[in-house]
Homo-oligomer: A and B are copies of this chain.
């Protein structure tokens, strides 16, 4: 029997090595695998290269991993945000390396790694400083720049539901980088709200087929979700509204 489920987040992230390249899914908070990142912090691997869209928010998740000085380099499209103070401080102190990649090139380069493409001519970034030094070619009268795949040792992603074969479905815009990252990593580790019996996911609606997935851990249904429609009452970070009022008081 194929069973990719593991009992807890610590087991899920076991074996990630110093120096690894780790993709981390999510766009802002949506789809960010917070529990897996927390487990990676506890696990201890350092000298990491992180591939993600952002460079951490506030003091939790990816920002906490950065604060622990466990990241050597980050490849992302949009590090600078109103609450990216952890990254900002490390960058200004010269303690973290940054490679800025336009968001579409980031997604397509990750897909290319998963799809066996050696390199591709991209229309994005042509004539800008982010294409400086890159090979350029005019094809059918349009300028392109050659971009190479981005692969990883490990991908940490978040989905809504999995089965024991690792088939995944996502939820709304939390899907974002999950499917392409799952395809581009040697080991893909997924946190989900819930694991359902094999055969429960309609094969027409599977977004990430199980062959891309290595380990799945259920981290529990989010209290603010409801199968029969959204019940609301949270802020943008998922905190209950009365707790928000509490903080505001």
Residues of A within 8 A of B (CB): 108, 112, 115-123, 137, 139-140, 142, 144, 148, 169-172, 202, 204-205
C-alpha spacing A138/B172, complex, angstroms: 39
C-alpha spacing A172/B206, complex, angstroms: 12
C-alpha spacing A195/B108, complex, angstroms: 33
C-alpha spacing A169/B202, complex, angstroms: 13
Known: A119-B120, A119-B121. 9 other contacts (CB 8 A): A112-B120, A117-B120, A117-B122, A118-B120, A118-B123, A118-B137, A118-B140, A118-B142, A120-B120
Q: Which of B115, B119, B140, B204 contacts A205 (CB 8 A)?
A: B204
Q: Is the CB of B118 within 8 A of A108?
A: no
30 contacts between A and B (CB under 8 A): A108-B115, A108-B117, A116-B122, A116-B123, A117-B120, A117-B121, A117-B122, A118-B120, A118-B121, A118-B122, A118-B123, A118-B137, A118-B139, A118-B140, A118-B142, A118-B144, A119-B120, A119-B121, A119-B139, A119-B144, A120-B120, A120-B121, A139-B148, A169-B204, A170-B204, A171-B204, A172-B204, A202-B205, A204-B205, A205-B205
Q: Which residue of B lies closest to A104 (CB)?
A: B116
